[in-house]
RNA sequence: GCUCCCGUAGUGUAGUGGCCAAUCAUGAAGCCCUCUCGAGGCUUCGACGCGGAUUCGAAUUCCGCCGGGAGCACCA
């Protein structure tokens, strides 16, 4: 066995792939959607809806539509359209169509008119605060009983530009006596003067979330709507539109709230902070954006597995970086080359030998990835981390990994052979770098920086995820012209 | 205040009346292995929020309580 198939002995990975629960009414394929607001790129929180929807579409076959919900010009970030799609691509999400709500206004107008004509909506010129107060008290506002013909006239006047901002809006009736205040009548269309990044000033009358979503979900043939629990009340409101129009309803699934600690996620905050130069950009490794995770060496497969594992139940959960990192480690461990990195390095001259040679595999389980060789001659000096040096008492023996055994003599290291038996006598294995190493700076997710020396070979793996032994997995980002390496910490 | 959702180990998760003195992953502790504090192997720790009811039998059903979360925008 060992000679025939050694890989079977080494890599018996526990491949327990947990399946998402089955979807109702999905036997004949599904149509699902991702409906991001293009106010910024995706962050770790958004990846749940992306992965879950993608997983189901892949499983049952069908179509995944990306629908940019860009109906509020002030919050639209023009670059976000592209960034979101790049994030999805990186995540391995297969979408079949991309549509922008900002280009579908004529459709929303058509349905607004139908709703008004049928008496299911009204044109309201109440001051918004007063209107809300009436709703709280389950009282109708004076416009709620306006005749459809009058409403239609007002609607036409609105479209023709006959009103100013905030002067009038179109409201969809639900049930003014509904026990749940979150569900009573909602504004469906309103005027916006700010130009839209995509359509400019072509339209002035904008739909609001619940209205455009209900219409689009139906028109685009959605069979399943899988979104967060925070939309529970929105679903109830949207169902009123379905019922007014006599549309069949998709299957609605609401997964629980995810609380993500220790991570900056607020698009608005990030945007402001980038402007102030506090972050280098949307992919600053301190952020929880998808691009930041990518930059840090988090594998898309780890994120996918994480959400698959969590599933789509309605329980509120805490996001666990620890669990994500464990999944990430599983994935990257196999390909990450092992290299030496010495933090807070201190030089130590070597005595007792003129020539030293080190040869070690780049990956302990994968000899095919090759070896790295180090040759040193003459007045040899190596660098060790202060942490190891503090532990080592004078006269004790250190095993410099893949190099040799050394006795501590003051600030010098005396070569005493290369026999691994010293390990059995309690010699400690430490990591080291030679004179041709590179200054390296590792940026940690918390914003701190760890500086040290990385061995020469590191330079050949720029752009890759590697393991700095006894330190952790890092993504080697770049090297400046003077040879300083910048790396980002992924996980231990 | 009103309404809704939820409640299994530290974190997630399986479990839909008996197979549960509760699954798996992650975590922690220990041992083995390994020239890494990684990987791998083994062992251990750790949970059904509480109280009633139904039942021969409940983590699974019902009621009450407690606890957590969300929504109540001319944001999405």
pLDDT digits over A420-454, tens only?
999 988 899 999 999 999 999 999 999 999 999 99
Q: Is the CB of A492 under 7 A from strand B?
A: yes
Query: What per-residue confidence (pLDDT) applies to A9?
Result: 34
Query: What per-residue confidence (pLDDT) applies to A278?
Result: 96
Q: Which residue has the tokens 């402001």?
A: A272
Q: Among A405, A361, A384, A394, which Cα is nearest to A470's?
A: A384
pLDDT digits over A302-315, tens only?
999 999 999 999 99
pLDDT digits over A110-127, tens only?
999 999 999 999 999 999
Nucleotide nearest to A311 (CA to C1'): B13
Measured distance CA(A102)–CA(A197) in Å, rounded? 10
Measured distance CA(A403)–CA(A348) in Å, rounded? 14
Measured distance CA(A439)–CA(A434) in Å, rounded? 12
Residue A470 has pLDDT above 50, yes or no: yes
Q: What is the DSSP letter of A425?
A: T
Q: Is the CB of A75 under 7 A from strand B?
A: yes
Measured distance CA(A58)–CA(A321) in Å, rounded? 26
The CA-based dihedral angle spanning residues A156, A125, A120, A248, taken in that order and rounded to the nearest 10 degrees: 80
What residues form DSSP beta bridges with A375? A357
A305 with A248: CB under 8 angstroms?
no
Query: What per-residue confidence (pLDDT) applies to A17?
Result: 59
Query: What per-residue confidence (pLDDT) applies to A301?
Result: 97
Q: What is the DSSP letter of A256?
A: P
What is the number of other CB atoms lying within 10 angstroms of the CB of residue A46? Answer: 23
pLDDT digits over A262-278, tens only?
899 999 999 999 999 99
Share of chain A above pLDDT 90, in %: 93
Two tokens, residue A137: 């008290």
Concatenating the DSSP letter of every residue in A191-236 gives: E--SPBTTTBTS--EEE-HHHHHHHHHHHTT-SEEEEEGGGHHHHH
Query: What per-residue confidence (pLDDT) applies to A483?
Result: 84
Residue A258 has pLDDT above 60, yes or no: yes
- At A238, is the pLDDT very low, low, confident or very high (cuts 50, 70, 90)? very high
Q: Tell me which CATH homologous superfamily contains domain A337-491.
A: Ribosomal Protein L25; Chain P (2.40.240.10)
User: What stretch of H or E contains A357?
Assistant: strand A355-361
Domain definitions of chain A by residue range: 30-102+255-331, 104-205, 337-491
What residues form DSSP beta bridges with A442? A450, A487
User: What stretch of H or E contains A237?
Assistant: helix A232-245
Share of chain A above pLDDT 70, in %: 96
Q: Which nucleotides of B are covered by protein (CB under 7 A)?
A: 1-8, 10-15, 24-27, 34-41, 68-76
Residue A10 has pLDDT above 90, yes or no: no
Q: Is the CB of A417 under 7 A from strand B?
A: no
Residue A334 has pLDDT above 70, yes or no: yes
Q: Is the CB of A45 under 7 A from strand B?
A: no
Measured distance CA(A220)–CA(A99) in Å, rounded? 10
Mean pLDDT of A393-415: 94
Mean pLDDT of A466-480: 96
A256 with A230: CB under 8 angstroms?
no
Query: What per-residue confidence (pLDDT) applies to A107?
Result: 98
* Maximum pairwise Cα distance, chain A: 102
Q: Is the CB of A12 under 7 A from strand B?
A: yes
Q: Is the CB of A373 under 7 A from strand B?
A: no
Q: Is the CB of A366 under 7 A from strand B?
A: no
Q: Among A468, A469, A465, A467, which Cα is nearest to A477's?
A: A465
Tell me the CATH architecture of domain A30-102+255-331. 3-Layer(aba) Sandwich (3.40)
The two beta strands, A62-68 and A30-34, are: parallel
Q: Do domains A30-102+255-331 and A337-491 have the same CATH topology?
A: no
Q: Which residue has the tokens 């190493």?
A: A437
Residues in A 276-315 whose C-beta is less than 7 A from nucleic strand B are 309-311, 313-315
Residue A215 has pLDDT above 80, yes or no: yes
Q: Which residue has the tokens 């959400």?
A: A307
Q: Is the CB of A401 under 7 A from strand B?
A: yes
A222 with A34: CB under 8 angstroms?
no
Nearest residue (CA) to C1' of B72: A182
Residue A191 has pLDDT above 70, yes or no: yes
pLDDT digits over A132-144, tens only?
999 999 999 999 9
Kindly list the distances between the CA atom of residue A155 and the CA atoms of A8, A73, A158, A354, in Å, as whole numbers in the listed order: 71, 21, 5, 91
Query: What per-residue confidence (pLDDT) applies to A19?
Result: 80
For the beta sheet containing A169-172, the strands, ordered from the edge strand earlier in sequence to the opposite edge, are A121-124, A169-172, A186-191, A205-207
Mean pLDDT of A466-485: 94
In sequence order, which residues have a C-beta less than 8 Å from that of residue A460 and are 6 or more positions away?
none
Query: What per-residue confidence (pLDDT) applies to A391?
Result: 87
- Residue A302's Cα: distance from chain center in Å? 11
In sequence order, which residues have a C-beta less than 8 Å from that of residue A421 and are 6 or more positions away?
none
Concatenating the DSSP letter of every residue in A23-67 gives: PTT-TT-EEEEE---TTS--BTTTHHHHHHHHHHHHHH-EEEEEE
Q: Is the CB of A94 under 7 A from strand B?
A: no
Query: What per-residue confidence (pLDDT) applies to A262?
Result: 87
Average pLDDT, chain A: 94
Q: Is the CB of A204 under 7 A from strand B?
A: no
What b/e readout covers A332-363, taking b as 16+ CB neighbours within 10 angstroms?
beeebbbbbbbbebeebebeebeebebebbbb
Q: Is the CB of A316 under 7 A from strand B?
A: yes
Mean pLDDT of A51-79: 97
Q: Among A403, A415, A406, which Cα is nearest to A357's?
A: A403
Two tokens, residue A422: 């010293």
Measured distance CA(A225)–CA(A255) in Å, rounded? 11
Q: What angle do CA A488, A287, A195 make, to 5 degrees?
A: 135
Distance (Å) from CA A261 to C1' B9?
21
pLDDT digits over A70-112, tens only?
999 999 999 999 999 999 999 999 999 999 999 999 999 999 9
Distance (Å) from CA A464 to C1' B57?
58
Q: What is the CATH number that goes with domain A104-205?
A: 3.90.800.10
Q: Which residue has the tokens 């590191």?
A: A458
């Amino acid at each position: 066995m060992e000679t025939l198939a050694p890989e079977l002995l080494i890599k018996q990975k526990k491949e327990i792939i947990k399946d998402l629960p089955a979807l109702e009414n999905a036997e004949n394929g599904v149509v699902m959607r991702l409906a991001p607001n293009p106010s910024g790129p995706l962050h770790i929180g958004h990846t749940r809806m992306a992965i879950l929807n993608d997983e189901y579409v892949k499983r049952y076959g069908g179509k995944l539509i990306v629908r940019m919900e860009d109906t509020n010009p002030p919050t639209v970030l023009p670059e976000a359209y592209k960034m979101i799609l790049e994030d999805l691509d990186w995540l391995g999400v297969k979408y079949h169509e991309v549509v922008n709500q900002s280009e579908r206004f004529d459709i929303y107008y058509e349905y607004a008119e139908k709703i008004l004509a049928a008496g299911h909506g009204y044109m309201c010129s109440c001051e918004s605060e007063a209107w809300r107060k009436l709703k709280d008290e389950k009282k109708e506002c004076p416009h709620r009983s306006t005749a459809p013909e009058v409403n239609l006239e007002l609607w036409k006047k609105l479209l023709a530009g006959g009103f100013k901002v905030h002067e009038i809006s179109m409201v969809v009736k639900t049930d003014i006596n509904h026990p749940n205040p979150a569900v009573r009548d909602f504004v469906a269309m309103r005027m916006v003067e700010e130009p839209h990044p995509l359509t400019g000033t072509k339209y002035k009358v904008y739909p609001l979330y619940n209205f455009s979503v209900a219409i689009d979900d139906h028109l685009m043939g959605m069979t399943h709507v899988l979104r967060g629990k925070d939309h529970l009340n929105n679903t109830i409101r949207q169902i009123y539109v379905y019922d007014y129009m006599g549309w069949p309803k998709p299957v609605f699934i609401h997964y629980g709230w995810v609380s993500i600690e220790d991570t900056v996620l607020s698009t608005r905050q990030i945007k402001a902070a980038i402007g102030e130069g506090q972050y280098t950009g949307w992919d600053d490794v301190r952020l929880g954006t998808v691009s930041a995770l990518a930059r840090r060496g988090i594998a898309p497969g780890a994120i996918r597995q994480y959400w698959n594992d969590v599933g789509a139940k309605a329980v509120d959960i805490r996001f666990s970086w620890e669990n994500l990192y464990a999944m990430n480690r599983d994935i990257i461990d196999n390909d990450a080359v092992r290299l030496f990195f010495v933090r807070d390095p201190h030089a130590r001259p070597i005595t007792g030998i003129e020539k030293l040679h080190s040869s070690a595999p780049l990956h302990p389980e994968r000899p095919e990835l090759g070896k790295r060789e180090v040759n040193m001659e003459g007045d040899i000096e190596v660098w060790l981390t202060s942490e190891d040096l503090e532990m080592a008492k004078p006269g004790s023996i250190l095993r410099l990994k893949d190099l040799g055994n050394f006795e501590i003599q003051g600030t010098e290291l005396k070569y005493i052979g290369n026999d691994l038996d010293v390990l059995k006598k309690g010699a400690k294995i430490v990591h080291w770098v030679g004179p041709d190493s590179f200054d390296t700076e590792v940026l940690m997710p918390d914003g701190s920086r760890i500086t040290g020396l990385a061995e020469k070979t590191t330079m050949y793996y720029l752009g890759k995820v590697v393991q700095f032994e006894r330190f952790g997995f890092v993504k080697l980002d770049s090297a400046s012209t003077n040879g300083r390496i910048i790396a980002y910490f992924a996980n231990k």
